Structure 1
């Protein structure tokens, strides 16, 4: 069953609020701190994916909804890879490779912002 625009917005608000909270806490100090924070973010992203998969968005934003789920899944897999990489390469924190992985994660985050902006624009236009 499709949900209303308002209900869909509430779902995004709930997911977004949790992601903002975790993102604010991601300050990379040492490898143990990074691992704990990344694992927390992965857990939150997995819950967000589940929440998104359980809602049926308004038809006008179905494409963006699927893109959002896809980006969340990619971001989750990237973070899981990063966690495993850090665990098996303790000295990685000071390397360019680690820096590049963080940049890729940030780019995925920008994709989420772009998709959400598109959703909001379509919802505002249709109202």
Structure 2
């Protein structure tokens, strides 16, 4: 019981510290992008779309849809902002190109898995 109380207290303290840091964000649009737009885009667009794809397709395509959804969700706040302040090592890249490459790799792997599955299903003539 003492361990639970200690862990709960530590968790509440970390949550309060995180909330304080979140409200110190100088650009309100950046705060909104991460804490408002992300959940809205997820709940209204991304989750229903990925869920519908999950009902229609099976196997590797379903996994590809989930991974694609997560990648898009992570990239939206960075793609949404037009003037991202330069922070060497963090914001010095083309996020749209990075997202496109990541999605391309995901769907290339999905295609390879589906082709591999079809090849394994072909009859063998030994």
State the structure with bigger RCO (CA 8 A, min sep 6), 1 or 2: 1
**TM-score past 0.5 threshold:** no
* Higher share in helix: 1
TM normalised by structure 1 equals 0.43
